[in-house]
Structure 1
Amino acid sequence: MEEIVRGMNYVIEQGWAFYWGTSEWKGAEIIEACEVADRLGLIRPVCDQTRYNILDRSRVDYDFVNLYKKYKFGVTAFSALSSGVLTGKYKNGIPKGSRMAVPGFDKILANGLEEKTAKAVQLEVVAKELGCTLPQLAIAWCVANTNVSTVLLGASSIDQLEENLKQRCANLH
């Protein structure tokens, strides 16, 4: 861990970056990196880029809970739409051209697909009650978490991005 912390600080010292973060690290690994940085008087990681959505919450909502106050740690969330599950596109099977139809991705992404799709169908009812779409609800849910500093979005068209960014269900508190 010391080698990683020193290496990232070298990158910062060279002016190649202002801060450093991790990606998909466990909470214990991040705590270790912060403790090493503190012991050596170096810069800690400031955030983790991790999968986070209404169906996949364990790392951000449970594993990282000690990081937020102690280290002022942030989360850069990706997969807010659970690789498309929270768009409703998989409720009638796997459409051609979707990520789940791509060889290699299908094995990774399809794990628990039926269960996730069933939950997405239930969440779609909630979204309608709130006056928004399922993707808007999913994105607003991620944004509403005060420990999430950034939500990364992917879209296959400008129209899709614009629709997903509408804040019709932003008030989830």
Structure 2
Amino acid sequence: MSTQNRLTHIDEAGAARMVDVSEKAVTARVARASGRVLVSPRVVELLRGEGVPKGDALATARIAGIMGAKRTPDLIPLCHPLAVSGVEVDLGVADDAVEITATVKTTDRTGVEMEALTAVSVAALTVIDMVKAVDKAAVITDVRVETKSGGKSGDYRRTEADGADA
């Protein structure tokens, strides 16, 4: 059975295991993930203007996302510790949400998709923490890998055919 047809972190007996990547080639790898935090019109107004009561929400979330990417193997038990060589977290204020993208780079034996997803997730959680005094109903949504490159499995780019449920 190929690795595309089975869960790689589960052995034949069904026990969790950390995948052995020692035989894999060291290659340049990049992953980009995105997500959104749905917020109230008042939060949008504050983020575009005077800011929220706790301070600079977007700058704080950006730093939190970078820290999250670096701490991914501490949070996800079977994720390999990697030499992350770069993390960019971008946040933008749309009419109904804060839109977040994270790009993570490495030259290593395994990809950085989980690091990109963690960066987006931690940035989104931080946005909620920063705006909760104004909007207790903020919602994190659409966290997903958009692109990945490098490694044996090749490149991936999310398409409309993948859909929101992919």
TM-score by length of 1: 0.25
Larger Rg belongs to: 1
Higher RCO (C-alpha under 8 Å, 6+ residues apart): 2
More helix by share: 1
TM-score normalised according to structure 2 size: 0.26
Give 1 or 2: higher strand fraction. Answer: 2
